Structure 1
Amino acid sequence: MAQTIVCINNAGMIMQFWIEWVNDDGTQGWTQANSGDYPVDQRRSLDMDALNSQGESIPPGRLVRPHVQAVAGASIAGDRYITYTPGSGTAIYDVTGTSFNYSVTLIQS
């Protein structure tokens, strides 16, 4: 359970991420807002409560995960979903590798 998702960039690339979730019918939803580009050795967070107050529509109780885009590289989703629970804590994902060969691993939820 988490309200906020953090991605730590420990990869040799510039990246950004969005939040994706699973709808009741199995399709995926995506936030329009993203973290913005950031380099290695930095972290960014997206607070789903704050995003919803700014017009996003992430349904509470949904399975969510970050979806990372390497600048001039691949696009990869986090390895595990967490449940979006307003008023709860932070899920942290570690991003390691290089632009076309990297992983997004949940390390704390």
Structure 2
Amino acid sequence: MNRHLARTLAATTGAAATVALAAVPAYAQAAPCVEKVAVVNNGGFTMDFQLTTREGQLTAETDTYPINQWRVIDLTSTTIAEGADVRPLVHATAGTDVQGNVFVSYCTNGQTATYTASGTTLDYQVTLLT
């Protein structure tokens, strides 16, 4: 309960209100927690990708690669801070840009989150494999 609401409640009910305020993060840390992010190209197009944070920070793009190949971005080689949530932003050549369906968190643990990009140039999905 915020202070304004507590004052309003006390004023309308005639009762004193005790308020305990806790710092609540804007987002809970996403799961899984990984050090690397891979995207497998299962689409009918060539593509590249980069990682984006919830705040919009971007990594460098990978090279462009065709169907049935994959690329990995190692977060330790980026400027993204450990603990940040990231997801891929895929760029289909001559097509649209699509973000991954969910965020993962960055922690230096050697683990890799793998997404798959599937569909066609103008209609595709980027999905985290579980």
Q: Smaller-chain TM-score range?
A: 0.7 to 0.9
Q: Which residue of 1 aligns with 2:42?
A: 10
Partner of 1:30: 58
Question: Are 1:64 and 2:86 matched, yes or no?
Answer: yes
Alignment of 1:1-109 (within 5 A): 1-22=33-54, 27-31=55-59, 33-49=60-76, 51-52=77-78, 57-108=79-130
Q: Which has the higher contact order (CA 8 A, sep 6+)?
A: 1
Deviation at 1:71, TM superposition (A): 0.5
Between the aligned residues of both structures, percent identity stands at: 33
Larger radius of gyration: 2
Could you list the runs of 5+ residues in structure 1 that have no partner in the other structure?
Answer: none
TM-score w.r.t. length of structure 1: 0.86
TM-fit CA distance, 1:47: 0.4
* Larger relative strand fraction: 1
- Alpha-carbon distance, 1:35 to partner: 1.3
The residue identity in structure 2 corresponding to 1:60 is E
Taking the aligned partners of 1:90 and 1:60, their CA distance within structure 2 comes to 14
Unmatched runs of 5 consecutive residues or more in structure 2: 1-32
Structure richer in helix, relative to its length = 2
TM-score (norm 2): 0.73
RMSD value, Cα: 0.9
